[in-house]
Amino acid sequence: MEHIVFLDSGSLKAEIRKPKFAHTWTNFPTTSPDQVAERLSPATIAITNKIPVRADALAKAKQLRLIAVAATGTDIVDLAACRSRNVVVENIRNYVNASLPEHVFALILALRRNLFAYRADVESGRWQRAEHFCLLDHPIRDLAGSTLGVVGFGALGKAVAALGVAFDMRVLAFDVQPVGGPGVEAASLEKVLATSDVISLHVPLSPGTASLIGARELARMQPNCLLINTARGGLVDEQALADALRAGRIGGAGFDVLSVEPPHAGNPLLALRLPNFVLTPHIAWASAQAMQGLADQLIDNLESFVAGTPRNVVA
């Protein structure tokens, strides 16, 4: 009998089918850090989307055999501690290959065509008072012919690059692994920073990528460049970005992630009220289709593990 505990079931809006093996299942809509150890103590299988599972909680989870992360990123789990205790960690893969790239381009299009500024003009009555049939107070730029820089060329980076090619953009891609594909040019990070009109981040958060984009990197970007981050908030120095946006050193930014989520008062990006900055609450992954695909794959992972053929293993 497996004892399954889902630490933050409220983060997944989808129908979750019952696993085909004998089990009990306990849902906690959310879990605070000081509740993790207690709630995992009877579990043989833990499910977490964004609730961290660290070494102290693992030390008390004597029955735990599997942590099933209901997401792709596994930085919330102490992988070294899991290996030392023979706890398998599995994740979800390739479930947002439509949802996240579409969100990336929703942000890009809104910013390149200044939709937020024009919407504000209509709401304030400026169009109604205009002398002509249209209002042309903010620049509108096509994507066709512009340059998209993709930083990180895994499944999501490739999907974003493919949309860039479809929009007739020049696509540059940087990764530590080989880069290739129709319409995609491998480039150094320096070249991506210096020549792109739009830069989209698609790398995992690790000690090597934390603050990958700081004041120096922002200064290397073109004055009209847009920075898009739907990966992890810690990839960007948030204060440096806020300073660059206020000073007009880059063209704008579209973010779906912050360094601390949910964000706390004091985050410099929360205070921005600029038409060239948009912040969404970590929803790029969350189309109805993507969430259902995640839920189905989650149960597939559990069933394969119990059957002795674990899949999507990261530790």
Please list the active-site residues: 232, 261, 282
Q: Which amino acid, residue 150?
A: V
* Residues paired with residue 199 on neighbouring β-strands, in sequence order: 149, 227
Spatial CA neighbour of 274 closest among 120, 148, 103: 120
Q: Is 51 exposed, middle or buried (0-12, 13-18, 19+ CB in 10 A)?
A: buried
The rounded distance, in Å, linking the Cα atoms of 272 and 5 is 39
Please state whether the peptide bond connecting residue 204 to the residue before it is cis, i.e. omega within 30 degrees of 0: no
Torsion of CA 192, 198, 200, 206, to 10 degrees: 50
The rounded distance, in Å, linking the Cα atoms of 2 and 64 is 10
Query: Could you tell me where the DSSP H helices lie in 2-86?
Result: 36-40, 55-60, 79-84
Spatial CA neighbour of 257 closest among 237, 230, 236: 230
Contact yes or no for 233/257 (Cβ under 8 A): yes
The rounded distance, in Å, linking the Cα atoms of 61 and 44 is 8
Query: Could you tell me where the DSSP H helices lie in 91-205?
Result: 99-112, 115-124, 155-166, 189-195
Which 3 state secondary structure label does DSSP give 33? helix
Residue whose token pair is 């961290």 = 52
Length of the chain: 315
The rounded distance, in Å, linking the Cα atoms of 128 and 116 is 17
